[in-house]
């Protein structure tokens, strides 16, 4: 162990550091237990008290020895992996390129649980069915589902398995599947780690699925908390390779054709359960007799979640286990008849233990845990829970929630996040009153608003390669979902709607149209029940129009854009009675004209589209030079308006006028417009030239479109469209297809 710590080639491994730390923590716990048992004297003989303690704690100490042995093996394994990685780094350049052809990928969001104990039969069963050897021996993909009740330990078994056997696989991926937003976020991370970049969901899913289907590397895919396998079919590869581990509460999942093996996770029995009780007590620096541990195991029905809750409660309140259990049975009645198939008994067991804990929480503790009830249960950032000025005060409450095992803390490098069990989250939502829930909603609403930027109308378009607020969007979606379930009012409906609008926009950027629609529909409901500012009202209605247009609901989109324009025009007229409108006011109006022009074009009403585009261009050109002098550029907005007008003119075959507009768009965007927008301009301009049969000009423009789109979008369907049109140009020019472009397009 000391040699590993002194080896600079190994000590840089974060995983190895954490594993060694686990060994020292276990050894320290065992040492303290020895001191408590035998005292500090060095006598060779034991007195009667020490002998009694030895009999009482002998099994606990034996298990500590066994765990240290297991952890030491983990250290050796991690050290070997770290050493191999270091060897790859120092290879000669010729060998280095080959060795680095594929570097191991480990996408596991949670560290190994130091309090995990037992479950050996499940871990062995999983390994027998989906190990690399099982895949090789069968020549087929191996999939296994872990199913069972909430709180039974499915996720923890899967996590323990991954950490034990990740070294056998070239790539390990973990996807949390309880909603599509998180699935999309994790798929994007898979695509990024595999070197494909991050585009929209369809692209990310396609490249990830293709990689798993065709790679020679061994891979393990964990799909945790699956509600329906249909939600992950887009990345489920149809091939004879790879290992897939699924966890779900739905027992019917095991009957799916995709699933080859299944294991039902049941409550903990005997040795495993007692070991978990002792582990929780040891974490609180306390000990427990085997008899008391057996009573706790019996009282909780062996539910891992309930064991942790009850043990944490006893330790946090410095209670004697046997005395507490006697009193508990008098107050709540025993649950000795608990049965896996008896759902009411199961729910009562969980509810009883959580009720006990909540009675011990202070007002500040309740205020903090209420916020967790609305957030996504995984990876909660501290900045969402308290401001820097509140940190010291709320840290006390956070420690209390941690002591009672209501929340857990995860540390990756320097990043700290918190998780709350879904069982606790559901219990909170059903037991907190409306005043407590309302206060939590308002607090989270304000904090999210402070985190999300205020985009101005002259800012550059969002870079489609990057999900700007990927860590916050799952929380916005979760808040909206829970808010719609409970009968609670918010004191800040306008700010809440702003957050929903922002979340919907980010989801739309990532191709999650239905999820974005859910948020914008909630914002529309708030808008119908409250009076918002005209500006926000227009933005919400306009973005609903965007989603309608993308879904093919052209008439509904037209109505939204028309209404948004009316609101902006009314707002501007009212402003004129108070003050002179600023350029920001008129740019918002110009954008509304732009949106309406686009939908008129889509409906074939080119005359109205030209009028609306013309007004938009007039307003933007009016402010262009003045704003440039102040350091603000309207180039990307003008580029869009010129291009839209050019497209409309081209559809009416006014090619000379369209050419003038396309040239203006390119001139406006030479230095300041994003490559993606320039690529779109070149593409549309090239398509018009191809329609005119001006092949050489079309080839040059479409070639520029390909270069710009490859620069900004990489392997994206838009890039493929430009490659395909370029191939068509070559076909017309030479009476033969240039296959390189068709291959790239494919």
* pLDDT score for 53: 66
Please check the confidence at residue 462 and state whether its pLDDT lies above 50. Answer: no
* pLDDT score for 452: 79
Determine how β-strand 415-420 pairs with β-strand 407-412.
Answer: antiparallel
| Cα–Cα nearest to 403, from 303, 281, 320 | 281
pLDDT band, very low/low/confident/very high, at 339 (cuts 50, 70, 90) = very low
Domain boundaries 527-745, CATH class: mainly alpha
| Cα–Cα nearest to 30, from 75, 66, 73 | 66
Q: Which overall architecture, per CATH, does domain 363-432 show?
A: Orthogonal Bundle (1.10)
pLDDT band, very low/low/confident/very high, at 468 (cuts 50, 70, 90) = low
pLDDT tens-digit map of 533-577: 999 999 999 999 999 998 889 999 999 999 999 999 999 999 998
pLDDT tens-digit map of 102-129: 578 888 888 888 778 788 889 999 999 9
* pLDDT score for 31: 76
- What Cα–Cα distance (Å) separates residue 166 from each residue in 78, 160, 252, 412, 590? 10, 10, 28, 18, 55
pLDDT tens-digit map of 470-529: 788 889 999 999 998 887 888 999 999 999 999 998 888 777 888 899 999 999 999 999
In sequence order, the 6+-apart residues with CB closer than 8 A to the CB of 102 are 170, 217
Q: Which residue has the higher pLDDT, 33 or 720?
A: 720
Please check the confidence at residue 455 and state whether its pLDDT lies above 70. Answer: no
pLDDT tens-digit map of 389-424: 566 667 788 888 888 888 887 766 567 788 888 888
pLDDT band, very low/low/confident/very high, at 465 (cuts 50, 70, 90) = very low
Return the structure tokens found at 92: 């000669």
pLDDT tens-digit map of 12-51: 555 566 667 667 767 777 777 677 666 665 566 667 776 6
Q: What is the strand order of the sheet 261-264 is part of?
A: 105-107, 171-176, 219-226, 243-248, 142-147, 261-264
Instruction: Determine phi and psi for 138, rounding to 5 degrees.
Output: -85, -25
- What Cα–Cα distance (Å) separates residue 292 from each residue in 49, 178, 280, 306? 19, 37, 13, 15
Same fold yes or no, 105-264 and 527-745: no
Q: What is the mean pLDDT of the chain?
A: 81
Please check the confidence at residue 469 and state whether its pLDDT lies above 70. Answer: no
Question: What is the CB-side half-sphere exposure of residue 206 using CA atoms within 13 A?
Answer: 9
Please check the confidence at residue 199 and state whether its pLDDT lies above 80. Answer: no
pLDDT tens-digit map of 266-290: 888 888 888 889 888 888 888 888 8
pLDDT tens-digit map of 669-687: 665 556 777 888 999 999 9
pLDDT tens-digit map of 611-645: 999 999 999 988 887 777 676 777 888 888 999 99
Question: What is the CB-side half-sphere exposure of residue 403 using CA atoms within 13 A?
Answer: 19
* pLDDT score for 634: 79
Please check the confidence at residue 660 and state whether its pLDDT lies above 90. Answer: yes
* pLDDT score for 16: 62
pLDDT tens-digit map of 295-326: 888 888 888 888 888 888 888 888 888 888 88
* pLDDT score for 466: 43
* pLDDT score for 335: 39
Question: What is the CB-side half-sphere exposure of residue 584 using CA atoms within 13 A?
Answer: 7
* pLDDT score for 310: 87
* pLDDT score for 412: 61
pLDDT band, very low/low/confident/very high, at 740 (cuts 50, 70, 90) = low
CB atoms within 10 A of CB 607: 9
Point out the least confidently predicted range of 428-432, 538-542, 570-574, 716-720: 716-720
Domain locations in the chain as residue ranges: 2-99, 105-264, 272-332+342-358, 363-432, 527-745
E-strand stretches of 148-264: 171-176, 219-226, 243-248, 261-264
Q: In CATH, which of 3.40.228.10, 3.40.50.300, 3.40.50.2000, 3.40.50.880 is domain 105-264?
A: 3.40.50.300
pTM for the complete prediction?
Answer: 0.74
Provide the β-strand partners of residue 145.
Answer: 246, 262
């Amino acid at each position: 162990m000391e040699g590993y710590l002194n080896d600079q080639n190994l000590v840089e491994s974060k995983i190895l550091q954490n594993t060694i730390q686990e060994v020292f923590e276990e050894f320290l716990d065992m040492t303290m237990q020895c001191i408590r048992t035998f005292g500090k004297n060095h006598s060779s003989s034991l007195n009667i008290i020490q002998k009694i303690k030895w009999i009482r704690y002998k099994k606990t100490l034996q298990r500590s020895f066994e765990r240290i042995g297991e952890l030491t093996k983990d250290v050796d394994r991690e050290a070997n992996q770290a050493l191999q990685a270091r060897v790859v780094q120092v290879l000669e350049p010729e060998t280095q390129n080959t060795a680095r052809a594929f570097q191991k990928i480990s996408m596991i969001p949670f560290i190994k649980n130091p309090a995990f104990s037992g479950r050996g039969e499940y871990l062995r069963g999983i390994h027998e069915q989906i190990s690399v050897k099982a895949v090789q021996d069968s020549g087929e993909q191996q999939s296994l589902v872990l199913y069972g009740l909430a709180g039974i330990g499915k996720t923890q078994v899967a996590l323990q398995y991954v950490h034990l056997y990740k070294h056998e696989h070239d790539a390990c991926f973990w996807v949390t599947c309880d909603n599509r937003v998180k699935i999309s976020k994790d798929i994007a991370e898979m695509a990024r780690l595999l070197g494909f970049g991050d585009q929209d969901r369809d692209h990310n899913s396609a490249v990830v699925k293709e990689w798993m289907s065709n790679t020679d590397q061994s891979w393990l895919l964990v799909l945790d908390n699956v509600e329906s396998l249909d939600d992950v079919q887009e990345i489920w590869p149809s091939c004879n390779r790879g290992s897939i581990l699924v966890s779900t509460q739905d027992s019917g999942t095991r009957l799916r054709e995709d699933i080859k093996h299944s294991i039902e996770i049941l409550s903990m029995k005997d040795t495993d359960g007692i070991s978990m009780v002792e582990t929780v007590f040891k974490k609180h620096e306390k000990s427990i007799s085997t008899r008391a541990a057996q009573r706790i195991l019996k009282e909780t029905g062996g539910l891992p979640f309930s064991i942790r809750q009850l043990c944490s409660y006893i330790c946090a309140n410095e209670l004697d286990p046997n005395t507490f259990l006697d009193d508990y049975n008098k107050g709540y009645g025993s649950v000795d008849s608990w049965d896996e198939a008896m759902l009411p008994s199961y729910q009562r067991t969980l509810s009883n233990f959580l009720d006990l804990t909540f009675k011990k929480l202070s007002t500040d503790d309740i205020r903090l845990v209420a916020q967790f009830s609305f957030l996504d249960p995984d990876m909660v950032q501290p900045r969402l829970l308290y401001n820097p000025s509140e940190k010291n005060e709320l840290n006390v409450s956070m420690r209390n929630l941690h002591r009672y095992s209501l929340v857990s803390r995860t540390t990756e490098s320097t990043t700290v996040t918190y998780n709350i069990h879904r069982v606790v989250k559901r219990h909170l939502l059903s037991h907190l009153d409306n005043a407590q829930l309302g206060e939590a909603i308002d607090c989270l609403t304000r904090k999210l608003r402070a985190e999300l930027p205020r985009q101005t109308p002259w800012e550059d378009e969002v870079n489609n390669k990057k999900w700007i607020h990927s860590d916050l969007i799952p929380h916005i979606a979760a808040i909206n979902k829970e808010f719609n379930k409970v009968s609670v009012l918010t004191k800040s409906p306008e700010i809440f709607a702003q957050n929903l609008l922002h979340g919907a926009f980010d989801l739309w950027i990532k191709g999650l149209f239905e999820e974005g629609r859910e948020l914008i529909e909630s914002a529309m409901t708030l808008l119908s029940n409250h009076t918002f500012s005209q500006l926000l009202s227009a933005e919400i209605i306009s973005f609903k129009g965007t989603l309608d247009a993308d879904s093919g609901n052209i008439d509904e989109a037209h109505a939204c854009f028309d209404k948004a324009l009316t609101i902006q025009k009314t707002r501007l007229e009212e402003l004129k009675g108070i003050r002179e409108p600023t350029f920001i006011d008129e740019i918002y109006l110009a954008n509304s004209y732009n949106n309406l022009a686009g939908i008129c074009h889509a409906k074939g009403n080119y005359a109205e589209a030209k009028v609306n585009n013309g007004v938009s261009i007039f307003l933007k050109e009016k402010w262009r030079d003045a704003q440039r002098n102040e350091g603000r550029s309207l180039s990307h907005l003008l580029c869009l308006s010129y291009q839209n007008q050019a497209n409309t003119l081209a559809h009416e075959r006014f090619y000379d006028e369209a050419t003038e507009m396309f040239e203006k768009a390119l001139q406006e965007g030479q230095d300041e417009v994003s490559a993606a927008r320039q690529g779109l301009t070149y593409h549309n301009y090239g398509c018009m030239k191809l329609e005119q049969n001006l092949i050489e000009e079309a080839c040059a423009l479409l070639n520029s479109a390909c270069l710009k789109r490859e620069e900004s979008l990489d392997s994206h369907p838009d890039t493929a469209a430009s490659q395909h049109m370029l191939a068509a140009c070559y076909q017309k020019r030479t009476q033969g297809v240039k296959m390189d472009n068709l291959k790239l397009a494919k």
